[in-house]
Amino acid sequence: MRASYDVVIIGGAAIGSSIAFFLSRSTTFPGSVLVIEKDPSYTKCSTTLSLASIRQQFSTPVNILASAFSIDFIKKARAKFGTLGDIGFDESGYLITASSHGATALRANYKIQQSLGTESALLSPEQITQRFPWMSTKGIELACLGLSGEGWFDPYSLLNLYISEAKSRGVHYVAAEVSDLDVSNGQVKGVRLVDGRKISCGCAVNAAGPAANSIATMAGQTLPVEPRKRIVYVFDCREKAKITNSPLFFDPNGVFCRPEGNYFLTGVSPPEDQDPTCDDFDVSYDLFENIIWPTLANRVPAFEAIKLVNAWAGHYAYNTLDQNALLGPLPPVSNLYFANGFSGHGIQQSPAIGRAIAELITTGDFMSIDFSELSAERILTGHTVRETNIF
């Protein structure tokens, strides 16, 4: 590690390492890059505890475009990076279902997605039964199925791709915790580590995930981002052979389920009033017993007899303003770039966000996808970007 870098990235998981990856590939940026990561095992970060699922079924054009780039990146990874790009992409799709209550919104979102080239189809209950005969359509009026590009992948492999490639192109990584920022005249001049070391920098990037606000505070700023616990339950089903061709499906009440090897993963976001800021990893089974299991049994008759085999907790970096990304600097500090607040859709956006923040740092603007409506500056105006397809 040197005493000074052009760019210092705080947090080396999906977002921080994707930014490092794209900076290291820039043909116009000869600068030096350091990634500071406090836990290089990456066992407690959102990235590796996530479901690593990707969809284009959003309501906001910028989120749809971000996923489109990420899907392209993921699909081409094997051809571009060889075995390093083998990230286990399973393109089984997303099936988002709606009751009569949500059908109008689902149809409207479908139209927006279609206008941006998304390959998906609206399905009536009869069409759902034809494709997925193991699923009950009770209470479902309409569903939308991604036909291409949606599915899930292995988050460790994607992270490993970013890190390995970035390192091979000269990015330095250090295992250390950032404890403070040196800020003067509206500029971050350096970063201080818990072990007392200091590193000067031309600019800094906050890629600290659920800890994003603690980094912002070091620069005298406040981000509306807090850790919110999300629990993933793993279950087995005796009659799993019946569940063929399963996409990741969402019940109209928000419970999701998808296959993973011989098992299934499921979960649901708790109601807003039961979703406090929380940074422990304790697993509670209340949501599973009271909401998830009854929902699954109602939706898939074969799931009436299931066995819970595991569960884990991770954290969303929950943006309380509008649950969307907060990108770029927040005045008056001009060279602290935020890449935070992704809530439940950060790993799928990581290729697009890595490229976008690298462009912002090297050119001063978003060049490929215009992410300006997700700029962190909206915190100051209170302008929100509402995404209705958020779970």
Ligand X SMILES: Cc1cc2nc3c(=O)[nH]c(=O)nc-3n(C[C@H](O)[C@H](O)[C@H](O)COP(=O)(O)OP(=O)(O)OC[C@H]3O[C@@H](n4cnc5c(N)ncnc54)[C@H](O)[C@@H]3O)c2cc1C
Nearest Cα neighbor of 327 from 312, 317, 337 is 337
Residues 190-219, interacting with ligand X (CB under 6 A): 207-211
Any contact of residue 352 with ligand X (CB under 6 A)? no
Near ligand X by CB under 6 A: residue from 344, 352, 356, 361: 344
Rg over CA atoms, the chain? 21
Whole-number minimum distance, CB 358 to ligand X, in Å?
15
Per-position x/- string for 212-251, each x denoting binding to ligand X as judged by CB under 6 A, each - no binding = ------------------x-x-------------------
Nearer to ligand X, 142 or 317 (CB): 317
Q: Determine the interface stretch with ligand X among 36-44, 84-92, 258-266, 360-368 (rule: CB under 6 A).
A: 36-44
H or E stretch at 69 = helix 61-81
Neighbour count for residue 35 (Cβ, 10 Å): 28
Any contact of residue 376 with ligand X (CB under 6 A)? no
Q: Determine the interface stretch with ligand X among 43-51, 166-174, 181-189, 374-382 (rule: CB under 6 A).
A: 43-51
Asked if 154 and 87 count as a contact pair (C-beta separation under 8 A), the reply is yes
To the nearest 10°, report the CA torsion of 156, 389, 110, 255: 80
To the nearest 10°, report the CA torsion of 318, 118, 152, 100: 70
Near ligand X by CB under 6 A: residue from 53, 221, 295, 375: 53
Any contact of residue 45 with ligand X (CB under 6 A)? yes
* Contacting residues for 240 by C-beta, under 8 A, at least 6 apart: 262, 264, 302
Which residue reads 């927040």 in tokens? 330
Nearer to ligand X, 203 or 347 (CB): 347
Phi-psi region of 314 (alpha: psi -120 to 50; beta: other; left: phi over 0): beta
Q: Determine the interface stretch with ligand X among 14-22, 195-203, 280-288, 299-307 (rule: CB under 6 A).
A: 14-22
Alpha-carbon distance of 35 to 209, in angstroms, equals 14
Alpha-carbon distance of 325 to 340, in angstroms, equals 6
Whole-number minimum distance, CB 92 to ligand X, in Å?
13
Whole-number minimum distance, CB 351 to ligand X, in Å?
11
Near ligand X by CB under 6 A: residue from 21, 110, 316, 338: 316
Asked if 215 and 333 count as a contact pair (C-beta separation under 8 A), the reply is no
Near ligand X by CB under 6 A: residue from 51, 62, 135, 216: 51
Kindly provide the residue ranges of all beta strands, DSSP E only, lying in the chain, ordered along the sequence. Answer: 4-10, 33-37, 53-54, 94-98, 120-123, 142-146, 151-152, 172-175, 178-184, 187-193, 198-206, 225-237, 248-250, 256-260, 263-267, 306-319, 326-330, 333-340
Q: The dihedral of CA 350, 355, 358, 359: what is its sign?
A: negative
Nearer to ligand X, 232 or 379 (CB): 232
> How many chain residues bind ligand X (CB under 6 A)?
39
Nearest Cα neighbor of 12 from 23, 3, 25 is 23
Any contact of residue 323 with ligand X (CB under 6 A)? no
Nearer to ligand X, 228 or 299 (CB): 228
Any contact of residue 144 with ligand X (CB under 6 A)? no
Alpha-carbon distance of 275 to 268, in angstroms, equals 11
Nearer to ligand X, 315 or 378 (CB): 315
Nearer to ligand X, 315 or 355 (CB): 315
Any contact of residue 10 with ligand X (CB under 6 A)? yes
Near ligand X by CB under 6 A: residue from 7, 22, 34, 46: 46
Near ligand X by CB under 6 A: residue from 299, 315, 355, 378: 315
Nearer to ligand X, 197 or 238 (CB): 197
* Contacting residues for 89 by C-beta, under 8 A, at least 6 apart: 74, 75, 77, 151, 152, 153
Whole-number minimum distance, CB 15 to ligand X, in Å?
4
**Interface with ligand X by CB under 6 A: which residues?**
10-16, 36-39, 42, 45-47, 49-53, 177-178, 207-211, 230, 232, 314-317, 342, 344-348
